[in-house]
Amino acid sequence: MKISLQNLSKDFGDGPVLKDISLEINDREFFFLLGPSGCGKTTLLRLLAGFHAPDQGEIYFDDEEVSGVEAHQRNIGMVFQNYALWPHLNVLQNVGYGLDTRKTDKYERDRRVMEALTKVQMDEFGHRFPNELSGGQQQRVALARAIVIKPKLLLFDEPLSNLDARLRIELREDIRELQRKTGITTVYVTHDHSEALSLADRVAVLHEGRIEQVADPRTIYRRPASRFVADFVGEMNWWAGRVSGSERGQVRVSTSVGELTASSPEPMQTGKEIWVGFRPEAARLTGIHPNRIPVILQGINYLGDREEYRCAAEDGTPVKVSVQDAGTPPPIGSRILLGIHPDSLIILL
């Protein structure tokens, strides 16, 4: 099912939460709403669910306008952050609840409940109650309950935030695989950029009730549309600069750490003030690339799979560098010459 949001706005009385949101979500797409607390992403999800009505704008499911349609008439499945399982019902009863309200034939009900539990690897836990399950198991039951009704739209409201890190990784892969198999159009709300980047077909980054950027995960990370997007989806090292030249797909930028050359599909006006930066993992310690930035090593954080070098540029700007398989690190206080490829520099107005 395709979803179309046209000029949606919502205000709960103390200022607008959503401001003129327009968005297209494709049929069978795994779409993420990403942003910090208070940006409006959960409100947008609840508008899709029918829990709230927009103050302005329309919501379309395919060609049907559903802005005024009640939640129980929209044929959606929803997975909440807190599982929302009935404590007095066992797993079979919890999963079958939506089918009971739809007065599904008993044979068909039982068949679909077991089919859903098998898909989430919980078919052996049917007679257990929620308090007899781990957090991950409860969330699998909640997922089975959402898909058993064969919804046209599946909504996730930060479903993994209560789980430990290892279980989050395991369960999010299961969710991605289940979405591929079922082909249900899915909208997933999170503030965790690693979830969005690893799972989404496309991502909408929200900030203060507006959409900052909609793109696939690689574009969001490598070519952010704003400094907010760049900083929210990962760490950045930034300098203010001024365009000193532009030719052959590259832009030269004068900064306090020297002239830097960045790849750019479009020429930029000489003298234009911009921001230029790079992500910590983009820097190389050899200084072999055209952009060379000398820094002083001030500290090292060992993180197991990588090391984080905390440095300072000659202008005093803090610089973070992420290093993998570096061997023996240089001594604290060493001068290091960083090399950054022009393709790895991000330039923003």
**What is the domain range of residue 176?**
3-231
Both 268 and 309 in one domain: the answer is yes
- The residue among 184, 209, 231 that closes a domain is 231
Cβ burial, residue 302 (10 Å; 0-12/13-18/19+): exposed
- The residue among 197, 231, 265 that closes a domain is 231
Task: Work out how many domains the chain is built from and give that number.
Answer: 2
Both 150 and 288 in one domain: the answer is no
Both 106 and 63 in one domain: the answer is yes
Both 213 and 271 in one domain: the answer is no
Residue 8 confidence (pLDDT): 97
Distance CA 208, CA 187 (A): 19
Both 268 and 182 in one domain: the answer is no
Residue 326 confidence (pLDDT): 64
| CATH number for 291 | 2.40.50.140
Distance CA 99, CA 312 (A): 61
Residue 170 confidence (pLDDT): 86
- The residue among 165, 199, 231 that closes a domain is 231
For residues 148 and 99, the answer to whether their CB atoms sit within 8 Å is yes
Both 103 and 196 in one domain: the answer is yes
Both 172 and 295 in one domain: the answer is no
Residue 248 confidence (pLDDT): 84
Paired tokens of 162:
């209560």
Both 70 and 106 in one domain: the answer is yes
Residue 217 confidence (pLDDT): 98
For residue 21, what are the contacts with CB-CB under 8 A and spacing of at least 6?
A: 5, 7, 8, 9, 40, 44, 57, 209, 210, 211
Both 217 and 243 in one domain: the answer is no
Tens-digit pLDDT string for the chain (349 aa)? 999 999 999 999 888 999 999 999 999 999 999 999 999 999 999 999 999 999 999 999 999 999 989 998 999 999 988 888 999 999 999 999 999 999 999 999 999 999 999 999 999 999 999 999 999 999 999 999 999 999 999 999 999 888 888 888 888 888 999 999 999 999 999 999 999 999 999 999 999 999 999 999 999 999 999 999 999 999 999 999 999 999 889 999 999 999 999 999 888 999 999 999 999 999 998 878 889 999 999 999 998 889 999 999 999 999 999 998 767 889 999 999 999 999 999 999 8
Distance CA 292, CA 284 (A): 9
Both 263 and 222 in one domain: the answer is no
Residue 161 confidence (pLDDT): 85
Which whole-number Å values give the CA distances from 244 to 17, 117, 251, 326, in the listed order?
41, 61, 8, 35
Both 257 and 217 in one domain: the answer is no
| CATH number for 199 | 3.40.50.300
Residue 247 confidence (pLDDT): 86
Strand partners, 301: 308
What does the DSSP 8-state code read for residue 289? S
Distance CA 153, CA 27 (A): 10
What is the residue whose two structure tokens read 């395991």? 170
Both 48 and 133 in one domain: the answer is yes
Residue 317 confidence (pLDDT): 97
